[in-house]
């Protein structure tokens, strides 16, 4: 058939111009082509030739730009225009299909308009990018011309009687409106930007974010098309495939998404809530109101998108229904009857009765629906992330105001706060993501039921009734699921708490042979957790069988700002305090004491809890300005509490605290905001998870000279030399990779480095030996601080330093016993002074001799803790432990890393599945295959049933007989029912099989992990960060318990559904396979690129969350220090940085997921279009049954969903299998050899009964690849002897004690105790028969009874006896419950000294004949220590006691003294013999300790 623009039929009206050219339809259509041709001619030269010269005008460095006014509206109108033009083209083709010749004018102008519309938007985009609006004048002319020509056509249609019943008339009317609106948008740009027709154009700068090159998250700034399709992510995802994504690659957050911006928004919402309502809503309700006020708007937008997408989702089934209907009728289009202006016009009904038209409409509906749905998801998650940042900041600000008692009394633990930040805020984020479902689902159900009623009649209502009846069952299952989840969480927390304690005290557990007790305790909790997990798995299986989406509702409650947790009262004193205050103020101030004090407390009563008794009572002290004040007293008398009370950390019940400020005295309550920064070193050293240098400088400016002086004063240089990276070495969590002394000295160095006027040092010498203590006192406290006229308050037990004090405060039982200078006390309290003198063990003299100790220090201490730093990568995050990868900067190595990143971790997958066992694996695979086979069979049977009914009806119509037999449905319904029942059973079986497999693997892996870890050698714990091991038990076990089974089930289901869908479509239309190949290739590359980017982003999301959680726990632990330094602002700033880093990673991950889903949905839409076109064509020519066409299209419609889930689950699985890989890595840890050469029967029951120790040529090392720490040591200790071991730090004293317990590698020589070589004994037996007290006191949460005797072997009288020996009987008796009194985590409810005494009592409980004290009295005051020494000498007269001492005077009464140096015995004799020798090292130690 020949082609002609106006058609070439005889007597055609197309060329008739009798009534004027404008009444000729073909001429009007030709006129409509003119504007489009004009635009194409004008814009193409500018786009392709002239654009290079415009590039210099680009002011913005990004590929983003300044949006012109009406930007989004223009894009939306252009998309609608394109859709209407496609409809016009289709209408032209359909209506022309019945003509004898082709009339090109029916669809060619629309085709040109389509091209012009695309060109207009591309042209606009380029102009906007270059910010050069003057070129928009071309578009102004185009819209004007297009509007005029289209209006002429519309008017002529009206003149010729064409009306609304004709589709072409409606489309032309729509185009007039669209062109008119686009013209209005263009005029608005001129009005606002004034780029033409105005003298001065308006200069507009791009947003601040775009001027900042660091912002790489471009979603808020790109155009609407790029926003909807995430096109801007293409470059990012391609780059990710070339090099790993790091924080630098993802850049900064846009300002509107930063935590600070959102925190301000949330705070404003809280304030608005307060101001709006007089009865202010309390508790969680107030939080919900504020959250909705602050973040409700984007949520409404997301919900609108969701409802729109859901409504568009019904277009799919309706179009398929239409296609099946028309295919059944042979796609016979009703021949149009109306012919006007020489061409046929069709109605919309006639247009939609074409199956091909429905296929194209279905394609467009799918594209739009999937784009809007992904937009809804994105907006919801972005809002959730913004909200999470705001809530985390709010929680942090709350923590900053918590009183110390909240933490020490166990009301709020660091674990709870971490849970709040890590889990609850995330759940709140996901709640906001799932929120649109709450109102979108009811809309979906109602519209679905109405449509079904329209199609099926009364049967649909029966289906609706079934849904309603099942609702209570679903609700019941959902509540059971949440209960099971809650109990699992509780048991999981309990298990983690126990594991954490076990790992923190692992050295003690091994030395006391208590591993089995804690192992069984953790395992018992794990069993309870597994029971909860089984219940959870069962209900999950039931809910998936019911196909019930169980909404998991998160409840989150932040302490209400109006009713804070006991916040330190920093605003005003209580009313009665005001009266006291005013009376004090009215009292005339003594001029002499006016300005010479720094802090003054009058009549102070302080407590930790408001309802508790006063910890400090009747406090009246004056701390002199610019002088050294020492606070002394016995353990637990309130010395540390006095410092904290002065800093405002305790609850003040009465009295006043005055700080001397330049203006006037201020009461503490008014003062806390005004007092300056106080450099505070707490008794328990608090370190940041940062470098040594950062810990010392602590946010202050770096001054090299001062830094060096501080390092020298604290004797830190030798320690720094040993560290792998010097002072740039990262200190692990809680300073785990440092010794107690090193931690203490870094903490003191921080206080010395700060340029504050006031310095508080709380027992800085407790973990230091005498040489280090003296050097610190002389060089640090006296030289650096006192000479600078700083006010120093020093809490100490080292009474030999009292002569240096300008002012002394003596405390007893929470009150001030005496204050004044040493001479004052000598005169007025001669008894106390004499008591001190005897304790000091020397006369009141100046300490000139103390500097002799520094000789040879550097050489001697090179060995210091070398064993701890043998590893080069000190804190390598094990998240990066890729198999057999050692990363370097070489290009070839990088390529191997990239290759490794693109591979799936099949080995870990194999390990996971093999752990399930031989029986479960085949059951899992078989049940999945059977289930999906049955599912396909059900759908195929339905299609066959439908086809047979339709063919039976058409046969009846052809035969036209009324008596013919009715169609028999019974056979079909029977088979259908059987298949459905089988499907339901298989669904349940599959789900249970997956969950069962998951639980079995989880149980097995945790059991193996716990066994391996608890039996691992001590070296493993010294070289592996605690946080890393704990992560295996928490995050990784949680992944294996709950996430992998669900992902595995989802992955297998989506993969099999995808395969079955493609198989069904290929069966229905084999032609589809040809088109499938290019789509499969595209799909492969998309998933390949996505998986790599997704994994990197997921790891980045996890790794950026760790510093955030660490920052929270660090802040909780160091609250007093931070507040003393007045560093709250700096720490808040750090938090904002960490939160933003975590949020930007989460946002990029979200955008990457949307990027994948949009592409997969578009591929799915292409699959539907191809399947529809091939099915329609095949059915028209090959008589394919309409039932099979429907079946093929229904499956095609679901392909995009399955594809999405398959790729997403593949990426998730890859990340989650990392947990299996990491646990598998730990399972390769070699255990200690617990077996012995001697059988239990060969070991005497009461061994060792005498306590004789023979050490023969002993050499030990910490690891086979390290140097020895003890070299050829020989000694003989007779039964009942008291041995003292001394030596400088790192001389091998502690290694000597550990050798008795085989905690170190003995590679030469042997130790014989009571005639038995300890190397032949089983470890459990050896360690259970000896006793040791460690330098660091370790207490476990539980009761005092459990801490003293976890094996439950002792009677109460034995426990009381041990407590009496340890000077603790009166303390425990005063506690509620006595022996059953509660000990909080880490023993935080006791002072450091009391904890050490409990550890002594614990050792006394074990009535062993050999007793080792490893620097056990470091935190105890001299008076208590002297009592203990006497008790040890008498109570253990018949036992062998080995004492390793910092304070040499404590071993002067020993029978034998061993002096050690660099792992060898330097001197070995009675103390009196050694003291008589002039050149004796021991004698020099004693001289220095005087």
pLDDT, residue 838, reads: 74
pLDDT value at 860 more than 60: no
Q: Convert the pLDDT of each residue in 756-778 to its tens digit.
A: 888 888 888 877 777 778 888 88
pLDDT, residue 163, reads: 74
Indicate the average pLDDT of the chain: 77
Tell me the pLDDT band of 888, cut-offs 50, 70 and 90.
very low
Q: Convert the pLDDT of each residue in 1209-1243 to its tens digit.
A: 887 787 788 778 888 887 887 777 777 777 777 77
Find the mean pLDDT for residues 610-625.
81
CA distances from 843 to 163, 404, 763, 1116 (A): 119, 40, 23, 44
Tell me the pLDDT band of 867, cut-offs 50, 70 and 90.
very low
As a whole-number percent, the residues of the chain with pLDDT over 90 amount to 5
Hey, how many other C-beta atoms are within 10 angstroms of the C-beta on 550? 20
In 1016-1171, the DSSP E strands lie at none
pLDDT, residue 561, reads: 32
| Dihedral sign (CA 1410, 1414, 1420, 1425) | positive
Packing angle between helix 25-48 and helix 137-159, nearest 10 degrees? Answer: 170
Residue with the bigger pLDDT between 834 and 371: it is 371
- Cis link prior to 216 (omega < 30° from 0)? no
Find the mean pLDDT for residues 663-673.
42
With beta carbons less than 8 A apart as the criterion, state whether 1323 and 1236 touch: yes
pLDDT, residue 21, reads: 62
Tell me the pLDDT band of 1419, cut-offs 50, 70 and 90.
low
Q: Convert the pLDDT of each residue in 410-447 to its tens digit.
A: 566 666 777 777 777 888 888 888 878 887 888 888 88
pLDDT value at 553 more than 60: no
Alpha carbons 1285 and 1271: distance in angstroms, whole number? 16
pLDDT value at 1120 more than 90: no
Q: Convert the pLDDT of each residue in 296-326 to its tens digit.
A: 888 889 888 988 998 888 888 888 888 877 7
Q: Please, which residues have CB within 8 angstroms of residue 1074's CB and are 6 or more apart in sequence?
A: none
Find the mean pLDDT for residues 1124-1144.
89
Tell me the pLDDT band of 1057, cut-offs 50, 70 and 90.
confident
Find the mean pLDDT for residues 1010-1015.
85
Q: Convert the pLDDT of each residue in 42-80 to its tens digit.
A: 887 777 665 544 443 334 444 446 788 888 899 999 999
pLDDT, residue 327, reads: 74
pLDDT value at 1315 more than 60: yes
Find the mean pLDDT for residues 1156-1170.
88
pLDDT value at 1377 more than 60: yes
Hey, how many other C-beta atoms are within 10 angstroms of the C-beta on 962? 6
pLDDT value at 724 more than 60: yes
| Dihedral sign (CA 1320, 1323, 1324, 1329) | positive
pTM more than 0.85: no
Q: Convert the pLDDT of each residue in 221-244 to its tens digit.
A: 888 888 889 998 888 888 888 888
β-bridge mates for residue 95, sequence order: none
pLDDT value at 842 more than 60: no
Find the mean pLDDT for residues 98-112.
75
| Range scoring the smallest mean pLDDT among 313-317, 555-559, 733-737, 1200-1204 | 555-559
CA distances from 249 to 207, 216, 354 (A): 21, 8, 51
Find the mean pLDDT for residues 1253-1281.
83
Find the mean pLDDT for residues 641-651.
85
Packing angle between helix 1392-1405 and helix 1422-1435, nearest 10 degrees? Answer: 0
With beta carbons less than 8 A apart as the criterion, state whether 305 and 371 touch: no
Residue with the bigger pLDDT between 676 and 119: it is 119
| Dihedral sign (CA 1302, 1304, 1305, 1307) | negative
pLDDT, residue 145, reads: 92
For the chain, the C-alpha Rg in angstroms (whole number) is 41
**3-state class (DSSP) for residue 691:** strand
pLDDT value at 874 more than 50: no
Residue of 943, 869, 1242, 787 lying closest to 324 (CA atoms): 943
**3-state class (DSSP) for residue 1364:** helix
Tell me the pLDDT band of 869, cut-offs 50, 70 and 90.
very low
Q: Please, which residues have CB within 8 angstroms of residue 1086's CB and are 6 or more apart in sequence?
A: 1156, 1159, 1160, 1163, 1207
Tell me the pLDDT band of 564, cut-offs 50, 70 and 90.
very low
pLDDT, residue 290, reads: 81
As a whole-number percent, the residues of the chain with pLDDT over 70 amount to 81
pLDDT, residue 356, reads: 87
Q: If you average pLDDT over each of 586-600, 1298-1312, 1445-1459, which comes out highest?
A: 1298-1312
Q: Convert the pLDDT of each residue in 1186-1196 to its tens digit.
A: 778 888 888 88
pLDDT, residue 593, reads: 43
pLDDT, residue 1006, reads: 86
Residue of 485, 480, 484 lying closest to 543 (CA atoms): 480
- DSSP of 747-798: HHHHHHHS--SEEEEESTTTTS-HHHHHHIIIIIIIIIIITTT-EEEEE-S-
Q: What are phi and psi of 1441, to 5 degrees?
A: -120, 125
């Amino acid at each position: 058939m020949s082609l002609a623009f106006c058609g070439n039929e005889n007597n055609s009206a197309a060329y008739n111009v009798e009534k004027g050219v404008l009444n000729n339809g073909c001429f009007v259509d030709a006129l409509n082509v003119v504007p489009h041709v004009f635009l194409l001619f004008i814009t193409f030269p500018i786009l392709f030739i002239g654009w290079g010269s415009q590039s210099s005008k680009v002011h913005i460095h990004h590929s983003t730009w300044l949006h012109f006014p009406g930007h989004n509206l223009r894009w939306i109108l252009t998309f609608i225009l394109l859709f209407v033009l496609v409809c016009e083209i289709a209408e032209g083709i359909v209506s022309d299909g019945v003509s004898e010749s082709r009339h090109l004018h029916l669809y060619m102008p629309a085709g040109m308009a389509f091209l012009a519309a695309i060109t207009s938007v591309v042209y606009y985009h380029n102009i906007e990018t270059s910010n050069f609006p003057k070129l928009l004048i071309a578009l102004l002319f185009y819209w004007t011309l297009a509007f005029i020509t289209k209006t002429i056509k519309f008017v002529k249609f009206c003149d010729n009687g064409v009306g609304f019943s004709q589709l072409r008339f409606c489309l032309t009317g729509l185009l007039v409106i669209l062109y008119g609106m686009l013209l209005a948008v263009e005029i608005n740009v001129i009005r606002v930007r004034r780029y033409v027709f105005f003298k001065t154009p308006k200069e507009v700068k791009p947003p601040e974010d775009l001027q900042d090159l660091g912002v790489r998250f471009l979603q808020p700034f790109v155009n609407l098309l790029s926003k909807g399709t995430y096109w801007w992510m293409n470059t990012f995802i391609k780059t990710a495939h070339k090099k790993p994504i790091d924080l630098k690659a993802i850049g900064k957050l846009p300002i509107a998404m930063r935590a600070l911006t959102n925190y301000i928004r949330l705070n404003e919402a809280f304030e608005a809530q307060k101001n709006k309502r007089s009865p202010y809503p309390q508790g969680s309700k107030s939080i919900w109101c504020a959250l909705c006020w602050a973040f409700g708007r984007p949520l409404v937008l997301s919900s609108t998108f969701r409802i729109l997408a859901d409504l568009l989702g019904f277009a799919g089934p309706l179009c398929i229904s239409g296609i099946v209907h028309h295919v059944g009728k042979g796609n016979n289009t009703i021949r149009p009857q109306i012919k006007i202006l020489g061409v046929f016009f069709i109605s919309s009904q006639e247009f939609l009765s074409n199956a091909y038209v429905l296929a194209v409409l279905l394609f467009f509906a799918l594209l739009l629906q999937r784009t809007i749905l992904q937009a809804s998801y994105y907006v919801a998650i972005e809002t959730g992330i913004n909200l999470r940042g705001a809530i985390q900041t709010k929680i942090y600000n709350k923590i900053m105001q918590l009183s110390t008692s909240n933490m020490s009394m166990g009301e709020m633990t660091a674990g709870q706060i971490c849970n709040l930040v890590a889990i609850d805020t995330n759940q709140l984020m996901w709640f906001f993501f799932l929120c649109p479902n709450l109102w979108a689902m009811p809309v979906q159900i109602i519209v679905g039921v109405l449509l079904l009623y329209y199609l099926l009649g009364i049967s649909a209502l029966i289906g609706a009734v079934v849904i309603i009846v099942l609702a209570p069952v679903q609700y019941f299952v959902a509540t059971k699921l949440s209960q099971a989840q809650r109990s699992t969480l509780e048991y999981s927390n309990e298990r983690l708490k126990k594991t954490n304690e076990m790992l923190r005290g692992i050295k003690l557990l091994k030395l006391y042979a208590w591993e089995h007790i804690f192992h069984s305790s953790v395992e018992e909790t794990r069993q309870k957790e597994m029971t909860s997990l089984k219940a959870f798995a069962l209900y999950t299986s039931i809910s998936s069988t019911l196909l019930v989406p169980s909404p998991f509702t998160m409840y989150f409650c932040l302490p209400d700002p109006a009713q804070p947790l006991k916040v330190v009262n920093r605003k005003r004193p209580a009313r009665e305090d005001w009266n006291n205050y005013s009376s004090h103020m009215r009292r005339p101030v003594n001029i002499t004491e006016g300005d010479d004090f720094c802090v003054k407390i009058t009549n102070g009563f302080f407590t930790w809890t408001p309802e508790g008794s006063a910890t400090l009572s009747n406090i009246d002290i004056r701390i002199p300005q610019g002088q050294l004040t020492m606070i002394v007293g016995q353990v637990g008398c309130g010395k540390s509490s006095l410092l904290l009370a002065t800093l405002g950390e305790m609850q003040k019940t009465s009295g006043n605290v005055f700080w001397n400020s330049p203006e006037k005295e201020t009461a503490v309550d008014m003062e806390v905001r005004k007092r300056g920064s106080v450099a505070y070193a707490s008794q328990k050293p608090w370190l940041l998870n940062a470098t040594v240098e950062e810990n010392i400088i602590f946010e202050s400016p770096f001054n090299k000279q001062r830094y060096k002086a501080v390092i020298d004063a604290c004797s830190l240089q030798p320690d720094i030399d040993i560290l792998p990276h010097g002072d740039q070495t990262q200190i692990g969590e809680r300073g785990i990779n440092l010794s107690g002394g090193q931690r203490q000295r870094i903490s003191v160095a921080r206080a010395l480095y700060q340029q504050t006027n006031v310095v508080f040092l709380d027992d800085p010498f407790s973990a230091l030996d005498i040489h280090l203590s003296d050097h610190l006192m002389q060089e640090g406290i006296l030289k650096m601080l006192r000479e600078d006229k700083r006010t120093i308050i020093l809490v100490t037990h080292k009474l030999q330093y009292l002569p240096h004090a300008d002012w002394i405060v003596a405390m007893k039982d929470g009150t001030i016993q005496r204050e004044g200078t040493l001479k004052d006390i000598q005169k007025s309290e001669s008894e106390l002074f004499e008591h001190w003198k005897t304790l000091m063990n020397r006369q009141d003299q100046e300490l000139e001799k103390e500097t002799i100790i520094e000789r040879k220090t550097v050489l001697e201490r090179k060995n210091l803790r070398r064993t701890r730093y043998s590893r080069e990568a000190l804190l390598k995050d094990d998240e990066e432990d890729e198999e057999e990868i050692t990363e370097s900067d070489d290009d070839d190595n990088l390529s191997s890393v990239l290759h490794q990143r693109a591979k799936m971790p099949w080995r870990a997958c194999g390990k996971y599945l093999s752990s399930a066992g031989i029986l479960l694996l085949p059951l899992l695979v078989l049940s999945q295959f059977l289930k999906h086979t049955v599912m396909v069979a059900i759908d195929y049977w339905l299609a066959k049933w439908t086809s047979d009914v339709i063919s039976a009806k058409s046969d009846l119509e052809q035969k036209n007989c009324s008596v013919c037999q009715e169609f028999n449905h019974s056979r079909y319904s029977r088979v259908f029912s059987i298949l459905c029942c089988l499907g339901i059973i298989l669904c349940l079986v599959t789900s249970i099989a997956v969950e069962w497999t998951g639980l079995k693997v989880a149980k097995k892996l945790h059991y193996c992990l716990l066994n391996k870890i608890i039996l691992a050698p001590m070296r493993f714990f010294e070289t592996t960060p605690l946080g890393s091991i704990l992560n295996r038990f928490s995050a990784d076990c949680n992944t294996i318990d709950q996430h992998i089974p669900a992902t595995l089930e989802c992955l297998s289901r989506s993969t099999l559904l995808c395969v079955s869908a493609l198989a069904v479509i290929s069966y229905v239309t084999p032609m589809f396979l040809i088109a499938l190949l290019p789509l499969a290739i595209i799909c492969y590359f998309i998933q390949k690129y996505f998986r790599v980017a997704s994994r990197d982003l997921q790891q980045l999301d996890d790794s950026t969350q760790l510093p955030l959680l660490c920052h929270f726990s660090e802040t909780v632990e160091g609250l007093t220090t931070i507040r003393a330094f007045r560093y709250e602002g700096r720490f808040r700033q750090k938090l904002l940085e960490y939160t933003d880093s975590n949020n930007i990673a989460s946002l990029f991950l979200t955008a990457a997921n949307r990027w994948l889903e949009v592409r997969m949905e578009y591929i799915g839409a292409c699959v539907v279009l191809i399947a529809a076109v091939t099915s329609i064509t095949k059915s028209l020519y090959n008589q394919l049954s309409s039932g099979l066409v429907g079946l093929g299209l229904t499956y095609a419609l679901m392909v995009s969903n399955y594809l999405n889930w398959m790729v997403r689950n593949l990426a998730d699985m890859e990340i989650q299998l990392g947990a299996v890989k990491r646990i598998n890595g730990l399972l390769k840890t070699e255990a200690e050899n617990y077996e012995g050469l001697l059988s239990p029967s060969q070991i005497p029951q009461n061994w060792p009964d005498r306590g004789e120790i023979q050490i023969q040529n002993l050499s030990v090392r910490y690891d086979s690849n390290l140097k020895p720490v003890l070299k050829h040591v020989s000694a003989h200790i007779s039964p009942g002897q008291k041995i003292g071991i001394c030596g400088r730090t790192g001389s091998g004293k502690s290694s000597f004690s550990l050798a008795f317990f085989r905690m170190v590698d003995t590679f030469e020589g042997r130790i014989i105790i009571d005639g038995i070589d300890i190397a032949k004994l089983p470890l459990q037996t050896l360690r259970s028969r000896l006793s040791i007290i460690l330098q660091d006191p370790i207490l476990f949460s539980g009761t005092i009874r459990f801490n003293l005797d976890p094996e439950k072997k002792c009677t109460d009288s034995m426990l009381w006896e041990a407590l009496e020996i340890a000077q603790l009987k009166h303390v425990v008796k005063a506690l509620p419950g006595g022996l059953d009194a509660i000990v909080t985590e880490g023993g935080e409810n006791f002072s450091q000294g009391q904890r050490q005494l409990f550890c002594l009592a614990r050792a006394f409980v074990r009535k062993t004949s050999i007793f080792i004290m490893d620097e056990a009295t470091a935190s105890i005051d001299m008076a208590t220590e002297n009592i203990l020494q006497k008790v040890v000498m008498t109570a253990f007269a018949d036992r062998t006691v080995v004492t390793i001492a910092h304070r040499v005077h404590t071993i002067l009464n020993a029978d034998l003294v061993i002096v050690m140096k660099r792992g060898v015995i330097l001197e070995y004799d009675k103390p009196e013999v050694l003291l008589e020798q002039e050149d004796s090292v021991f004698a020099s130690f004693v001289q220095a300790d005087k």
